[in-house]
Amino acid sequence: MQDTGTGQDISALEARIDALSRENEKLRRIRDSLMDRAEQRLSLDSQFSFLEAGVVLGDEIAQWTADLNHLNTSLLQQVAQREEAEAALRVAKLAAEEANLAKSRFVAAVGHDMLQPLTAARLFLGTLPQGETGSREARLIERLARCLQSAEAMLDSIQEYSRVEAKPITPTIRNFSVGELLLRLHGEYQMRCEDRGLEFRVVPSRLWVRTDAHILERILRNFLSNAVRYTQRGGVVAGCRRSGDLVRILVADQGLGIPQNRLRDIFEEFVQLPAPHETAEKGLGLGLAIVKRMADAIGAEIAVRSVPGRGSVFSVAVPRSLLAGSADRPAHKPLQQPSLQGKRILIVDNDEAVLEALACTVEGWGCSTLIAVSHATALEAVEQGAIVPDLVIADYHLENDRGTAVVGRLRALFDRPLPAIIVTADRVAGVPEELRRQGWTVQTKPLDAGRLRDVCQKLCFGS
């Protein structure tokens, strides 16, 4: 980031150089005028006039020549100072960029290491028997789940903010159904709302939009998460409406509401309104700041209306697409997926805690599992079991290997398009986006057991 003081100094130098250049031009014009006068005087018949003109003009020309030399020297000094200032700015900018990259690499490394135990803890927690509603065990499990969710939300915000700060967001623009997107979000957030005693409703839509689908989904996820967090009773509604050449997608809640004098503040970094109750997930106040940056990257318009005590409406407006598709399924009826009972799943992860937690989770769905920490042990597990897995769940960062490479070798070995899920905790470097562009199915850590199961069902049954 350019230092303000240095920037002002350069502006002052540029102004001074412009003024001296104008003065130099003025002196040159005066000199030319004097030379014309000298030529006129030299044409006089009088020898005295000739001598007198020569003396006077000689003194004047000598004075103006000295002034011009002084002016040129001053200009050269000013130019040299400007070049030195620009060189110092380039060095400072390079140092700032290197420091920013180092910070991003640090956040990515720390985030990856922290997400590993969080993922294992969350998956293990999901396999525990819940006990009777209201029992001590059920309350403890609920509190543990809230603590994990808060830690995950904070870590996710830090990683996401560091990622968008490290480099410009490059959107991938395409046409897609906004109704399908809302349908997918309904399936995920309905359970969260039910756990809180809230109603979650999505208004069906046949509209299509043209924007970056992944970025729009992240924006809407933030709106929905905030709506659930700040609503104690009532419900949340998501839908969209056409507005000229735009489609405005709205998320409305009956929650705490936002004072009018805070509506602009909430999009600043580290600004967070007080939670309405003790059990609400804690955050860092980065979510809406990230939303603002992502919206700017795709040219979307963010708006908010709110009445304290009655609720809020957040919306994002994106370009409408004229394409039509199969977006007319009722968004309030999630599709029923077949059971995973008896499916054979190969899990590859070099973190033993995550490996064990994933195996426990998958076996709880009625699947049989093979576990491995590398490509070699994956082949060994498959050979010992004498089976071809129905699905592979592989971590992207393995010991001296990549999960994508392992899956590729297994597909070549079995000579079949083996369904696979690539799991990664590396979000700062844009790894998930790049993997999706390559055609991989990606899940980011910490893993959500419900979402993972839905993806497994879709891959196993081709839906």
Query: Which tens digit of pLDDT belongs to each residue from 260-295?
Result: 887 777 777 656 665 655 545 555 556 788 888 888
DSSP alpha helices (H): ranges in 268-317?
Answer: 287-298
Angle between helices 136-166 and 47-127 (to 10 degrees): 160
Strand partners, 422: 394, 442
Instruction: Tell me which amino acid residue 390 is.
Output: D
Would you say residue 434 has pLDDT above 70? yes
Q: What is the predicted pLDDT for the residue at 332?
A: 42
Region of 274 on the Ramachandran plot (φ > 0 left; ψ -120 to 50 alpha; else beta) = beta
- Tokens standing for residue 180: 């399908």
197 and 233 Cβ atoms separated by less than 8 Å: yes
187 and 334 Cβ atoms separated by less than 8 Å: yes
Would you say residue 196 has pLDDT above 90? no
Domain with CATH 3.30.565.10 in the chain: 174-321
Would you say residue 33 has pLDDT above 90? no
Q: Pick the residue with more confidence: 149 or 328?
A: 149
The average pLDDT across 224-239 equals: 90
Q: What is the predicted pLDDT for the residue at 329?
A: 43
Q: What is the predicted pLDDT for the residue at 463?
A: 58
Checking DSSP bridges between strand 246-253 and strand 311-321, what pairing results, if any? antiparallel
Residue 415: band (very low, low, confident or very high) from pLDDT cuts 50, 70, 90: confident
Domain with CATH 1.10.287 in the chain: 4-99
- Tokens standing for residue 86: 């620009």
Instruction: Tell me which amino acid residue 177 is.
Output: S
Q: How crowded is the C-beta side of 435, counted as CA atoms within 13 Å?
A: 25
Q: Name 274's Cβ contacts closer than 8 Å, sequence gap at least 6.
A: none
Comparing CA positions, the residue from 415, 418, 366 lying closest to residue 394 is 418
User: DSSP state, 273?
Assistant: P
Residue 65: band (very low, low, confident or very high) from pLDDT cuts 50, 70, 90: confident
Strand partners, 315: 250, 303
Residue 18: band (very low, low, confident or very high) from pLDDT cuts 50, 70, 90: confident
User: Could you name the CATH architecture of 344-461?
Assistant: 3-Layer(aba) Sandwich (3.40)
Would you say residue 304 has pLDDT above 70? yes
Bond before 417 cis per omega within 30 degrees: no
Q: What is the predicted pLDDT for the residue at 428?
A: 61
Would you say residue 117 has pLDDT above 60? yes
Place of tokens 């359970």: 191
Average pLDDT of the residues of the chain: 78
Domain 4-99: give its CATH code.
1.10.287
Would you say residue 49 has pLDDT above 70? no
Bond before 446 cis per omega within 30 degrees: yes
Class of domain 174-321: alpha beta
Would you say residue 236 has pLDDT above 90? yes
Q: What is the predicted pLDDT for the residue at 100?
A: 63
